[in-house]
Amino acid sequence: MSEEQNKPQENLPAVNPIELPIARKGMFGVKGTGDTSGYGGLVVRRPPKLSSPRPYGGPDRTGEPGEFDVIADELERALGDGFHDAVERVVVDRGELTFHVKRERLVEVMRHLRDDPALRFELSLGVSGVHYPHETGAELHAVYHLCSITHNRRLRIEVSCPDADPHIPSTVSVYPTHDWHERETYDFFGIIFDGHPALTRIEMPDDWEGHPQRKDYPLGGIPVEYRGATTPAPDQRRSYS
């Protein structure tokens, strides 16, 4: 190794450890013998948080600027000076466009996306939840998949909230079909959609404790009855290992 290579590296940018890829083994990090799902050998590497610079690109059918840039430009025009306050970051990954929006501005952004003639995302394909325990202060995410029939475009909106304050404004007033989707996300992840007309459980029993699709939820071992059927505890199921 040369003398130059042996010199200590100075003035390098600091790296936030939370952004480094971190590997964990097993389904949901389960240890011991409770996991009979066959995922004991699974290794998951957490990628760093993404933020895409312009140009965003996207499908280009006319030779004009990329479709994703057109969507961003039109939303920025609709929101005016409030665009950079409402949209925390933009991610283009695997050919898909995602706007990460502040929860306080969610309903406003959704209304522009639906009603502005240049955007016209008139169809929502649903609401889902994600739990990221390692994202301190933003552990819970709600994800919205929108489709513009008018312009033949797709877009994803993602909103986060802390586990300690799991509140996100309801978007039922903009997309009425979000009624049941928000109830399911509340049921499984515990996100409270403020302003929802009747936020109750939709699949789990009304008196159920906890939210089963969170990553800190116990994996098995709880007897559950669905329509007369009983799910046995993990140590009583067939093992596929």
Report the distance separating Cα 72 and Cα 240, nearest Å: 47
Task: Write the single-letter amino acid at 33.
Answer: T
Tally Cβ neighbours within 10 Å of residue 33. Answer: 10
Q: Quick one: pLDDT at residue 25?
A: 62
Q: What does residue 6 show for φ and ψ, rounded to 5 degrees?
A: -80, -15
| Residue 29 pLDDT class (50, 70, 90 cuts) | low
Strand 192-194, strand 167-169: pairing: parallel
Report the distance separating Cα 132 and Cα 125, nearest Å: 22
Per domain, the residue ranges of the chain are: 46-214
Q: Among candidates 91, 57, 112, which has minimal Cα distance to 160?
A: 91
3-state SS, 37-53, equals CCCCCCEEEECCCCCCC
Contact of 214 with 147, CB cutoff 8 Å: no
| Residue 182 pLDDT class (50, 70, 90 cuts) | very high
What pTM value is reported for the model?
0.75
Residue 76 has pLDDT above 50, yes or no: yes
Q: Which CATH class is domain 46-214?
A: alpha beta
